[in-house]
Amino acid sequence: MTTQNGNRQLTYLEAVREGLVLEMRRDPAVFLLGEDIGVYGGAFGVTKGMIEEFGPERVRDTPISEAAIAGAATGAALMGMRPIMEIMFMDFLTISMNQLVNQAAKIRFMFGGKASLPLVVRAPAGSGTGAAAQHSQSLEAWFVHTPGIKVVAPATAADAKGLLISAIRDNNPVIFMEHKLLYRTKGAVAEELYATPLGKAEVKREGSDLTILAYSIMVPRALEAAGQLATEGINIEVVDLRTLKPLDEETIIRSVCKTGRVLIAHEAPKTGGFGGELAALIAGSEAFDYLDAPIRRLAGRDIPIPYNRTLERAAVPQVEDIVAAARSLAQEGR
């Protein structure tokens, strides 16, 4: 933690940890469970030091079984607790799909609202660490497709803290995506306890020529690309979705109406990716009449993430890819 120009600077990782600590101090019903989250401090070090403050009852190391973790968390939530389960890699959620998709997501509806299920699933996601095909995926579209589950994908340290606090307080299952490459990034984070509402996008950069819709790691990449294109006289608006479900449709449509062009950027593979849902939303809204060029999607290739670093980088959109796609789109039809 550092202080610059009067603003407290935290890494994304530190902001997530602070959100966890503050909520656990505030509410004794909140507890953590997952593999190696106690003495070891978690696969990426997020929970380091927390067992010393809260003890092994509230920072619970589990067996190596994501199905068991999700089942235990679902049961605890039904009994009035507010569990936060850490999955080492988002890929391993495949092992807990039955508990999350067939049980946790549906129970509140099947009980007519008489039961609630306040469960947060922390899921380190994405490529860029050389972890290869089974440890580098972005599986958000699977969970967005499941009624009853909310999906959050913060891009900044401040949003990571505020959105996590809101996710913990929500009475529904929430998948909380933490991109592994964001953990070491820094940003200004307020020291007090604050909750950033779910379902509210944020315009991270105002622009007039083209809208880039992004979330998670694609937000800082889009902002860097926008900075480069500004030197060419291309004025980019960057909208950080922040939560994919619930989705802030109003902010998206307003931005596209304003600029008349839209580039959708995400890391997950293009086929069946969340970008298709965004494109359909825009095409079916009033924003369609404002478009001066076709909606364009920039997404990961339809391949497993390679181990080779050069191939891994080429498999998902980088800053230069966003620059090239946005430049082309901004010039189209002019």
Sequential DSSP letters for 122-170: EEEE-SSSS--TTS----HHHHHTSTT-EEE---SHHHHHHHHHHHHHS
> How high is the pLDDT of residue 7?
81
Beta strands 236-240; 210-214: pairing state: parallel
> How high is the pLDDT of residue 333?
66
Four-CA torsion 239, 164, 108, 63, nearest 10 degrees: 130
Residue 222 CA to residue 235 CA, distance in Å, equals 12
The predicted-structure confidence for 154-172, as pLDDT tens digits, reads as follows 999 999 999 999 999 999 9
pLDDT at position 2 over 70: no
Tokens of 125: 């996601």
> How high is the pLDDT of residue 332?
85
The predicted-structure confidence for 262-308, as pLDDT tens digits, reads as follows 999 999 999 999 999 999 999 999 999 999 999 999 999 999 999 99
The predicted-structure confidence for 194-205, as pLDDT tens digits, reads as follows 999 999 999 999
Closest CA to 268 of 216, 324, 231: 216
* Half-sphere exposure for 16 (CA within 13 Å, toward CB): 31
Using omega within 30 degrees of 0 as the cis cutoff, is the peptide bond preceding 246 cis?
A: yes
Q: Among the options 66, 140, 178, 312, which is catalytic?
A: 66
pLDDT at position 32 over 90: yes
Query: Which CATH number does the domain 8-188 belong to among 3.40.50.970, 3.20.20.80, 3.30.1360.120, 3.65.10.10?
Result: 3.40.50.970
How far from each other are the two terminal CA atoms of the chain, in whole angstroms? 47
Q: What percent of the chain has pLDDT over 90?
A: 97
Identify whether 135 is a catalytic site residue.
yes
Sign of CA dihedral 325, 328, 333, 334: positive
Residue 214 — pLDDT band, cuts 50, 70, 90? very high
pLDDT at position 4 over 60: no
What rounded mean pLDDT belongs to the chain?
96
Residue 1 — pLDDT band, cuts 50, 70, 90? low
Every domain range in the chain assigned CATH 3.40.50.920: 202-331
Question: What is the chain's length?
Answer: 334
Task: List the single range of 111-115, 174-178, 222-226 with lowest mean pLDDT.
Answer: 111-115
CATH 3.30.479.30 fits 202-331, yes or no: no
> How high is the pLDDT of residue 5?
46
> How high is the pLDDT of residue 31?
98
Q: Among the options 14, 18, 135, 237, which is catalytic?
A: 135
Identify whether 66 is a catalytic site residue.
yes
Sign of CA dihedral 101, 103, 105, 106: positive
Every domain range in the chain assigned CATH 3.40.50.970: 8-188
Q: In whole angstroms, how far apart are CA 245 and each of 5, 167, 273, 276?
A: 35, 12, 14, 14
The predicted-structure confidence for 125-150, as pLDDT tens digits, reads as follows 999 999 999 999 999 999 999 999 99
pLDDT at position 242 over 80: yes
Q: What percent of the chain has pLDDT over 70?
A: 98
